[in-house]
Every structure is written in structure tokens, then in C-alpha cells.
Amino acid sequence: KYTKFSIFYYWINSLGQKTSISSRLENVTIPSGKENKTATRSYDHRIMPLENTSSTGTYYCEVKWNDIQKTGKGVFVLARGTGYIETSYGWEILVTLTSLLAALSIPATALLLWKRKVFCPRRNQLNILTQKVETQPPSASPPPPPPPVYD
């Protein structure tokens, strides 16, 4: 009695409209020794590709015997116009930060070298200053220290 049944696949959209997808008739043979026992069978059905965003809805499977009808819980499917795109800004941030630091380091280095030329006396001038300091009589306060190379 239960070896012949029909399987129906359908979906219900957001407006509550039922649309049939496919159906098939099954005739299962029962092996000897398994009569009058409950059995479970799995049937897979793939729906691909989803045509557009209007394919969003709940998809159901329904099985009908002569006098019995059973419907599955349903699977909700959300169809989008575009797929999921993982956004990663890691490389963009790294390249931007590196470029910014490189762009700022060039003028900073040039500025430091220029200041060193302006404020740092040459060797000859340094020797003359040293000789002048040595020839001056000792005073109560020591001479001021030379200006630092980097301000």
C-alpha cells in the first residue's frame, strides 16, 4: 500500500503564491524480511541556478500516498541580485600608509640635512672656536655649549 507514492517540490513566494517546481512518482520494492516495518528514505533535489531575486521564498517537499499527505518544514532561500563579496581593505591601507610615510620622509630628511649645514660649523671653524676658548682666561661661568646638530 505504501510502496507507491508521489514526491512534489514547490515554493511559496513572499506574496503567498504557490509555484510547482517538479514532481515524480516513486515505486519502492520492499526486501524480504522488511515487510510491515517503518523505513526512511532520503531524496535530494537541487534547484539551480536561481533565476533572479524573485526566486526568494520557502521551498517545500511534499509526499502523497493514496490516503496520506506529508509536507516538510520547508527551507527559506533568499536570492540576491549579487553574491556576497568579502570586503578587505588590508592591502589598500598598507600601501596607502607606506606611500604616505615614504612621501613624508623625503622632505623631512632634506630639512634635517639643510638645518645641519646651516647650524653646524665646519671643521676649520670648530678648530678656531676651540683655540679661542682655550686662550681666554678662565672665568666664573663655563662657555655655552655648541648648538645641537638636530633641533
Q: What is the pLDDT of residue 149?
A: 65
From the number of C-beta atoms within 10 Å of its C-beta (0-12, 13-18, 19+), residue 62 rates as middle
Does 127 have pLDDT greater than 70? no
- What are the CA-CA distances from residue 25 to residues 8, 19, 39, 47, 49 (Å)? 9, 19, 18, 18, 24
Q: What is the pLDDT of residue 73?
A: 92
User: What secondary structure letter does DSSP report for 29?
Assistant: P
| Residues 81, 77: Cα–Cα separation, whole Å | 13
All structural domains of the chain with their residue ranges: 4-29+40-77, 86-121
Band (137; pLDDT cuts 50, 70, 90): low
Model confidence over 64-103: pLDDT tens digits?
988 889 998 999 988 777 766 777 777 888 889 999 998 8
* Radius of gyration of the chain from its Cα atoms, rounded to whole angstroms: 43
Q: What is the pLDDT of residue 69?
A: 92
Band (139; pLDDT cuts 50, 70, 90): low
Model confidence over 2-56: pLDDT tens digits?
788 999 999 898 888 998 888 889 888 887 887 788 877 787 777 766 666 777 8
| Residues 60, 114: Cα–Cα separation, whole Å | 78
